Structure 1
């Protein structure tokens, strides 16, 4: 399975409660689920939520810890990765975010906070190529996404796949192999024409 390692925005827009729960485990179909340490798969993922969802999660269980602008969930997703929720002031607006932080790295919640503020402070509304792919993966229903299995060559196994529809065909493709036209077709209309920005 392809493991992620960088900080990455995985959903464009503000996730409602249903979307938030879907995004919590958007890798539910990963092979050998629970048999491996999947920390690298989740650590670094973040998305925006509404205040109601932030407050709901704060009231759900006593936090593991709480600081001025963030709190961590007591229940860990993996051995060292847990949810951290943020309330951040960005461009004179108070906004709320969820991120998976690896607490085996003590500065990860602070570094995540800084990365979110940096990303959300871009002067021009834009989206990176990687963010387009992550949004597509996050927004696609489980029945239409998965991981490459035994029918793929060994070097492709475990990589993320999507069903792609074209004239007279349905094809299972690796997420990273989508063409520009296929990416545009899978993005919601309001994201299609945003300029592509190179990842920092």
Structure 2
């Protein structure tokens, strides 16, 4: 299973409330969900939300803490990972973000804040290959994505699978990481297909 805790953008554009709640647990289908600590799987994920959703989350429960324009949720997702919400001024406009931070790392929240600002102030709109794959995973309905498990013909523990459809309407599963550039383009919305490639930070 991918256990990378690098800070990463997992959805392009501003998510609505339905999409926000779906992305709070993007890995719910992972095998043996309740048998292991998945902190490294979630820590570092972030995406943009609207002001309305930011304020809605602030009002659900008393925050664990409030620091300036940031607040953390009292309920932890897994281990020491919880939701942190940011209101950040970027290019003169206040924008809102959700990120999963591992609070056992005292620097994780500030690192997340700086990473979001750095990513969103790039002068040219572009996406890395990893960002394209993460967007596909985030935007795909649960029925068409999943994880390799013991029932797969070639068991690859914890690897993510995506359903591809042919022109004739047949379908097949393929590892998300193995999608070709053409397959990635076919799974992205039109407005994202032709964005230039960005170098990974």
Normalising by structure 2, report the TM-score: 0.96
Aligned: 1:175 with 2:176 = yes
Deviation at 1:152, TM superposition (A): 4.0
Aligned: 1:104 with 2:104 = yes
Structure 1 alignment gaps of length 5 or more: none
RMSD: 0.9
Aligned: 1:188 with 2:184 = no
Cα deviation, 1:95-143, whole Å, max 9, x if unaligned, reads: 0000000000011001000000000010101111100000000000000
| Matches for 1:1-200 after TM superposition, within 5 Å | 1-150=1-150, 151-154=152-155, 156-168=156-168, 169-200=170-201
Q: Distance in 1 between matches of 2:103 and 2:87?
A: 19
Q: Which runs of 4+ in 1 moved over 3 A?
A: none
Q: Distance in 2 between matches of 1:179 and 1:166?
A: 14
Aligned residues: 199
Cα deviation, 1:148-187, whole Å, max 9, x if unaligned, reads: 1122434x22100001112444210000000111100000
Structure 2 alignment gaps of length 5 or more: none
